[in-house]
């Protein structure tokens, strides 16, 4: 996995040197755990791997949600980079590490696959993998669903991708019925040819925005355009 270790990164060099000066016991001190937690370095950096392999040690000082979010970001970014570079060897090694050393293996493995496919810009497989994750996930991770749906909405014109994106957002809206989620759901629905459902989602987006005090102009514009198109 040396491809993802940047020896020329000044911050990584400094952190690496610092950690290497610590004794076997010192890395788990509160000071060092807090230091490691605030660093976002390459996947193979000592600090990154120490965090991934010792997440329980960070829980006395950071919330469980914070720790899980950091781990997800590390896995997702590295997998996306591997996909972009088509580095299948790195990806296989990452999956081995996830399978043998990380908690919640199934979710981390799914996130890695999703982001690897996203990095490859394989939009249909990316969307399908995310839909599987949306169906099987054991936690309310609507942000991953929103990210895939956003990429599908902006970068793909394939009807199957757009339909899958709409299915993904249906699940995301179940988890988090926010203005942004509802508007994205509406956009994908109309691109997939379901204007009636799109109108319903966009109208609900305006309602949510009114309740929360958000700016609903994009949804209102979307509704006007949809009504105009239906008149022709």
Q: What is the dihedral of CA 140, 130, 149, 143, to 10 degrees?
A: 30
Give the domains, in start order, of the chain with CATH numbers: 1-120 (no CATH), 121-232 (1.25.40)
What distance in Å separates the CA atoms of residue 131 and residue 144, rounded to the nearest whole number?
10
pTM of the model: 0.86
Question: Using 50, 70 and 90 to split pLDDT, how confident is the model at 104?
Answer: confident
Give residue 203's pLDDT. 98
pLDDT in tens, 10-25: 665 666 666 666 645 5
pLDDT in the model for residue 25: 53
Q: Which residue has the higher pLDDT, 46 or 125?
A: 125
In which band, very low, low, confident or very high, does the pLDDT at 230 lie, cut at 50, 70 and 90?
confident
pLDDT given at position 160:
97
pLDDT band at residue 28 under the 50/70/90 scheme = confident
C-beta of residue 40 within 8 angstroms of C-beta of residue 71 = no
d(CA 216, CA 113): 35
Summarised one tens digit per residue, pLDDT across range 48-94 is: 999 999 999 999 999 999 999 999 999 999 999 999 999 999 999 99
Q: How far apart are CA 21 and CA 34, in angstroms?
A: 17
How does residue 140 score in pLDDT terms, banded at 50, 70 and 90?
A: confident
Contact 119, 107 (CB under 8 A): no
> Exposure string (b/e) for 128-152, b if CB count within 10 Å is 16 or more?
bbbbebbeebeeebbebbbbbbbbb
Spatial distance between the Cα atoms of 199 and 175, rounded to a whole number of angstroms = 20
Contacts 24+ apart (CB under 8 A), 157-163: 158/123, 158/124, 159/192, 159/193, 160/124, 161/123, 161/124, 161/127, 162/188, 162/191, 162/192, 163/192
Q: Which of 148, 151, 165, 232 is nearest to 201 (CA)?
A: 165
User: Percent of the chain at pLDDT above 70?
Assistant: 88
Tell me the mean pLDDT in the region 157-175: 97
pLDDT higher than threshold 90 for residue 46:
no
Band of the pLDDT at 138, cuts 50, 70, 90? Answer: low
Q: What is the mean pLDDT of the chain?
A: 90
Confidence of residue 6 (pLDDT cuts 50, 70, 90): very low
User: Does residue 183 register a pLDDT over 90?
Assistant: yes
Residue 38, phi then psi, degrees to nearest 5? -85, -5
Q: How far apart are CA 115 and CA 147, in angstroms?
A: 10
Looking at residue 74, its pLDDT comes to 96
């Amino acid at each position: 996995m040396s491809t993802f270790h940047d020896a020329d990164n000044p911050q990584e060099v400094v952190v690496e040197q610092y950690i290497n000066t610590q004794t076997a016991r010192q890395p788990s001190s509160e000071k060092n755990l807090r230091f490691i937690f605030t660093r976002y370095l390459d996947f193979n950096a000592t600090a990154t791997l120490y965090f991934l392999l010792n997440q329980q040690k960070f829980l006395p000082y950071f919330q469980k949600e914070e720790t899980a979010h950091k781990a997800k970001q590390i896995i997702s970014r590295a997998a996306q980079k591997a996909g972009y570079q088509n580095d299948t060897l790195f990806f296989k090694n990452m999956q081995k590490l996830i399978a043998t050393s990380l908690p919640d293996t199934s979710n981390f493995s799914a996130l890695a696959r999703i982001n690897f496919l996203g990095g490859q810009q394989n939009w249909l497989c990316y969307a399908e993998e995310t839909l599987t994750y949306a169906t099987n996930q054991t936690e309310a991770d609507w942000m991953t669903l929103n990210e895939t749906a956003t990429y599908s909405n902006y970068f793909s014109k394939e009807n199957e991708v757009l339909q899958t994106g709409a299915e993904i957002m249906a699940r995301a809206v179940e988890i988090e019925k926010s203005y942004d989620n509802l508007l994205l759901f509406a956009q994908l629905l109309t691109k997939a040819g379901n204007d009636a459902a799109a109108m319903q989602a966009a109208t609900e987006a305006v309602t949510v925005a009114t309740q929360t005090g958000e700016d609903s102009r994009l949804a209102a514009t979307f509704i006007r355009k949809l009504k105009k198109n239906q008149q022709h």
